[in-house]
Structure 1
Amino acid sequence: MEKRKEMNGKSEKGNKKRSAIEMTVCISGMAALTVLMAVFSADAGLLAGVAAYWIPCFVLLIYVLKVEKQPLSSVGLKPIRAKHVLEGLGLGVGMFIVQQIPLLLMRMDYSAYAMEPDAVYVAVMLFYCFFCVGFAEELIFRGFLLKRTLDIFSQKWVCVGLNILLFYLIHWFTMQHTFGEFYNLATNVVILCIYLFRKKEGTIVPLVIAHGFYDVLTSVGLPVFAYLLK
């Protein structure tokens, strides 16, 4: 019995060490890619942005399937159901509303962000927000990194806190480092993690939809709405 406990302890310690190494490699790779994008983004264009999201996803999925020999469901990629779409859209709206509360309290002038509607731009942003930003960031941060963090720490609030920190660091070069930006990022991560923990289905599909829809609302929906009200 004692020998079995000792073996289980060693196995658990080994899993924690492996998860820590996987997290370090993943974040280091993402950080390097982020720096490259920050340096060359001015001349890179949209395709480079798409590649910056899809390349890490491709590498991660190859690692999960070929090295770990785990199914896609191990990183939360499970079949889409109608309820996932509805819950994801609702979650995205909820995230959007939460972000607007402090802005409304500060009587923010939304007209400064008004944008004339453009069909091509809207279509491109729909694709980019859902299939690049939403898919990649949820796969990497909630599907992979959050689960690896849970392998190391038993307290979920610690894992969520680390997820916020890692998510913030990866966006370092694209942010102005204001309290409002950190508030937006942190509350969104908390909302997404709470949903993932409470549902216990292990799927990130609703999170991808929520993330993508939130980005569409903030980058397209709100500016166009502000323009129409002018």
Structure 2
Amino acid sequence: MSRATPSKPLILLGVAIAIIGNALFAFSQLEPDASIPARLLREGTAWLLLAVVVGYALRIEKLPATSLGLCPFSWKQTQLPGLAAGIALTLFAGAAVYIAQTVFHLEADNHLISMLAGMPWWMLVLLSLRAGFVEEILFRGYLLDRLTRLSGRRWIGIVGSIALFTAMHFGGWQAGQLILVALAGTLFTALYLWKRNIMICVIAHFTVDLIAALAITANAQS
């Protein structure tokens, strides 16, 4: 039996929860306190937001897990494509950053570099895991679909989710670097629309962020 489509006010409330929750988390990232306990607490709030939105989708909107892009997990269909996409996107991102710095003279984000350089490796893993799971499921899995349902137009869902993903990175990022964020959001969105499996995007996003964070840290400490 197919499930009834939730009303637009119900979807709108879910979208508001996801956007406001992400905005509050992004704002908390601006706090100067760089202590590990404070960062762990902030990371925990992001996972809590993810649990609330997923629970809302399944229990309140009563939509299937596939409406979030959640599919059966398998090594062949999920992990391998995700890793391959992550490595390919990392190489592409590296080339994009190189061009941005050498051709367009985009300056490195010293604040971001110093923040990452002061973290232990396991914290970088946790940050990358959170970015992969929370950002992909909320922006690609939830918001893209719900904005499409609200507007009745797929392109609005696509553009809206990419714009919101970029906006959530405003704090501490320079204008030129936000272009790279928007480009990354566009590539992850294209990957999701191609494979229709959010876990592939999660693994790819985690791979990109972790490799970048480790590379930045190693370069800063050398």
Assess same fold via TM > 0.5.
yes
The aligned counterpart of 2:214 is 220
Question: Of the candidates 93, 97, 101, which is equivalent to residue 99 of structure 1?
Answer: 93
Are the structure 2 counterparts of residues 87 and 205 from structure 1 closer, same or farther at C-alpha, using a change threshold of 3 Å? same
The aligned counterpart of 1:177 is 174
- Per-residue CA distance 1:150-199 (angstroms, 9 max, x = gap): 213454443222112111222222x33321x1222111111111122122
The aligned counterpart of 1:33 is 25
- Per-residue CA distance 1:107-153 (angstroms, 9 max, x = gap): 4899x969xx99x93233223312x1210111111111111112134
Are the structure 2 counterparts of residues 127 and 72 from structure 1 closer, same or farther at C-alpha, using a change threshold of 3 Å? same
Counterparts of 1:182 and 1:151, CA distance in 2: 27
Counterparts of 1:143 and 1:58, CA distance in 2: 13
Counterparts of 2:151 and 2:166, CA distance in 1: 20
Are the structure 2 counterparts of residues 62 and 187 from structure 1 closer, same or farther at C-alpha, using a change threshold of 3 Å? same
Tell me the C-alpha RMSD between the 2 structures.
Answer: 3.3
Runs (4+) of structure 1 exceeding 6 A deviation are none
TM-score calculated relative to the size of structure 2 = 0.77
Counterparts of 1:148 and 1:47, CA distance in 2: 30
Shifted more, 139-148 versus 95-104: the winner is 95-104
Question: Is residue 2:42 matched to residue 1:49?
Answer: yes
Preserved contact between residue 132 and residue 205 of structure 2 (Cα < 8 Å): yes
Question: Is residue 2:82 matched to residue 1:85?
Answer: no
- 1:23 Cα deviation (Å)? 1.6
Counterparts of 1:177 and 1:166, CA distance in 2: 16
TM-score calculated relative to the size of structure 1 = 0.75
The aligned counterpart of 1:198 is 194
Higher relative contact order, structure no. (Cα contacts within 8 Å, ≥ 6 residues apart):
1
Q: Give 1:1-230 correspondences, 5 Å limit.
A: 15-39=7-31, 41-42=33-34, 45-82=38-75, 83-105=77-99, 106-107=101-102, 121-130=120-129, 132-173=130-171, 175-179=172-176, 181-199=177-195, 202-221=196-215, 223-224=217-218, 226=219
Q: Structure 1: which 5+ residue stretches go unaligned? A: 1-10
Counterparts of 1:214 and 1:47, CA distance in 2: 21
Counterparts of 2:122 and 2:40, CA distance in 1: 15
Q: Which has the larger radius of gyration?
A: 1
